[in-house]
Structure 1
Amino acid sequence: MSLPDFLVIGVPKAGTTALHAALSRHPELFLSRVKEPKFFLSEGPPPARGGPGDAQTYQEHVWRRADYEALFDPAPDGALRGEATPFYLYDLDAQNRIRRLIPKARLVVLLRNPVDRAHSNWTHLWAAGLESERDFVRACALEERRRDAGWAHFWHYVSQGLYGRQLEHLFGLFAREQVLVLRYRDLRDSPVPTLDRVCEFLGVQTGLLDAVPSQNVTPFVADTAANAVLRAVLRTGGRIGHHFPAPVRAVPRGPLLTALQRQRGGRPTMTPAQRAAVLPYFTADIALLEQVTGQSYADWLTVGLEPDVID
């Protein structure tokens, strides 16, 4: 069977794309050409509908087992096979499916300050023209309604950051030595030692990876009247685009995104008031995370916004 030996399972907007790109350069590792195949997120076909753009995202899921295994067929003999889908940690059913199919897999988790992660997530969807709520705090407050409406994981700004309960469930399924928990800031500030930690954890040679490439950095998008029109058009495309093949969808979407993201500048940052409003969503879970991991995350209660250097 061509199944992965390791998975990067979390979390979105915490450097998983950059880690995938870095590990792909190691001669003893093979990572799927498809980043985020999302195989373990469903037992069969994913839902057909959800929030803006979700239907197209669901069409990208590699949900058939034969197709999933085919992703790893090109792996050289002896290479460890892996993939990165950062929603696996958040989706407890996905954790269960991983345990049933590849119980000996090694799992890599990247955690980021949950307030900053949520803000980066919101900024990403705003820049893509899919998020209609211009106020970050209000967007977080809308989560329960959106979840009830079936919007996909990437819209769950708050729930994705409840790492304590997610890791508590994971450690009930896998031995601690099968899980490596890292911080986003480690990959950002000390990339080479962090990559060596990952390689040592996976059992491959250290000292071969010397950089983490900048990946998936969200551009600045201004809140202007013209951009509001472009965002509305993109959201409309998100609702109806699943009726058309991907190459057809890309024809109008590409120029629209280029136009939307044409303005460059400093990224929007949270105000102290916004941080104070969102932080209470996470304080109890941060305490649980400390109990589950035995590590302190007290800095998440005070640290400022982390720059999106390697998202």
Structure 2
Amino acid sequence: MGASAVSSAPPPDFVIAGAAKSGTTALYQYLAEHPRLFLTDPKEPHYFALAGTRPAFTGPGDDRTINRLAVTDRGRYLALYEGAAPGSLRGEASVSTLYDEDAPRRLHEHNPAARVICILRDPADRAFSAYSFMRTRTFEPCEQFEQALDDEPRRIAAGWHHIWHYQAMGRYAEQLARLFEVFPREQVLVLLYEEFARQPQAVLERTYRFLGVEPITPTVTPEPHRSGEPRFKTLSRVVNTPHPAKRVLGRIVPSGARAKLRSLVGRHNVVRGSYGTQTRERLVAGFADDIARLETLLAVDLSTWRTIVRDGPP
């Protein structure tokens, strides 16, 4: 199908809108198993954030990732749903949909009845996870998390894409307020990552009910992106980025075996890190106003997000 070809496929019935590094990959993998749900491949076409544009983000690796992989043409985007079985609900999981200022409006223009799922994580932990993810991919140039935080305003001004906005992407109240201006509350489901990690089946059942499908007992074991410092950077680059070696492997190694290989490398090549108490104190202070606003907006208690000293890794 040509880049500007018109597809007869209807727009999505639902989206997992974000937030990045908050469990969206696991949720996507769980929902993709449901016989009445169809989710796009790729997981993140980024259409509603970047529709009609030619992405030209300037961060390290952006040319090899989002600039090359984003689906910004309407025909190509709708064609992603052509494999959906009749009667199934169609969805995707671009985390830029929650963060981008214009994405909710574009989604509403495509389907005003669309249902929107948001999963939110302690914003300080989310920021560190995003930093670690970019270290895993060998794109993040700063060896210290704090250096990357200090550099964030410059990166945003220079046009690095959203995954680099470690602090800005954690201001959920701002993002949800924009979403609620376009979509009624009953069409938006807000989940918490911490609850999803503790009780995935309960959260999945809530999500199934929200989408109007019968709950199922999942059999998949989600393989979220592992984040941390790679022991061997070249190996991590091959596994975690659009590396030329993947084209060769793709021709000779079945997709199932490739997924197992990725998981194996992630377990043994990535060293999970953490961030210090002073850095958490700094981040919690920076997010305080937004967390308070979010508590009012959602009528939830997020006091654990303000805790400075905690048990266990982030």
TM-score by length of 2: 0.84
Match among 116, 122, 125 for residue 107 of structure 1:
116
Residue of structure 2 in register with 1:128 after alignment: 137
Deviations 1:142-193 (A, max 9, x none): 1110000000000000000000111111111110000000011122110111
Quick one: distance in 1 between partners of 2:183 and 2:227?
Answer: 37
Match among 41, 44, 68 for residue 36 of structure 1:
44
Q: How does 1:49-68 map to 2 (within 5 A)?
A: 49-56=57-64, 57-68=66-77
Match among 277, 281, 292 for residue 276 of structure 1:
281
Residue of structure 2 in register with 1:156 after alignment: 165
Q: Which amino acid aligns with 1:78?
A: G
Note if 1:296 corresponds to 2:305. Answer: no
CA contact (8 A) 1:5 1:105 kept: yes
Change (3 A) 1:86 1:302: same
Number of equivalenced pairs: 289
Residue of structure 1 in register with 2:100 after alignment: 91
Q: How does 1:147-186 map to 2 (within 5 A)?
A: 147-186=156-195
Quick one: distance in 2 between partners of 1:85 and 1:104?
Answer: 18
Quick one: distance in 2 between partners of 1:127 and 1:31?
Answer: 26
Change (3 A) 1:269 1:247: closer
TM-score by length of 1: 0.84
CA contact (8 A) 2:30 2:222 kept: no
Quick one: distance in 2 between partners of 1:190 and 1:205?
Answer: 18
> 1:141 Cα deviation (Å)?
1.6
CA contact (8 A) 1:222 1:263 kept: no
Quick one: distance in 2 between partners of 1:98 and 1:77?
Answer: 22
Deviations 1:228-252 (A, max 9, x none): xx69xx7xxx9xxxxxxx6747469
Change (3 A) 1:211 1:138: farther
Deviations 1:64-114 (A, max 9, x none): 111111111111111111111112111111112112221110000000000
CA contact (8 A) 1:5 1:80 kept: yes
CA contact (8 A) 1:109 1:182 kept: yes
> 1:117 Cα deviation (Å)?
0.3
Match among 46, 54, 62 for residue 46 of structure 1:
54
CA contact (8 A) 2:33 2:220 kept: no
Change (3 A) 1:49 1:266: closer
> What do you get for the CA RMSD once the two structures are aligned?
2.8
CA contact (8 A) 1:87 1:153 kept: yes
CA contact (8 A) 2:105 2:182 kept: yes
Quick one: distance in 2 between partners of 1:212 and 1:86?
Answer: 22
Q: Which amino acid aligns with 2:148?
A: A
Point out which structure has higher relative CO (alpha carbons under 8 A, 6+ apart): 1
Residue of structure 2 in register with 1:241 after alignment: none
Quick one: distance in 2 between partners of 1:11 and 1:171?
Answer: 16
Residue of structure 2 in register with 1:242 after alignment: none
Change (3 A) 1:305 1:174: farther
Deviation beyond 6 Å, 4+ runs, structure 1: 251-254
Q: How does 1:145-224 map to 2 (within 5 A)?
A: 145-206=154-215, 208-210=216-218, 213-221=221-229
Quick one: distance in 2 between partners of 1:250 and 1:83?
Answer: 24
Residue of structure 1 in register with 2:257 after alignment: none
Quick one: distance in 2 between partners of 1:113 and 1:21?
Answer: 22
Change (3 A) 1:212 1:270: farther
> 1:215 Cα deviation (Å)?
2.0
Gaps of 5+ in 2: 1-8, 251-261
> 1:222 Cα deviation (Å)?
5.3
Q: Which amino acid aligns with 1:269?
A: S
Residue of structure 2 in register with 1:243 after alignment: none
Q: Which amino acid aligns with 1:218?
A: R
Deviations 1:23-46 (A, max 9, x none): 011111111122101111123133
Q: Which amino acid aligns with 1:53?
A: G
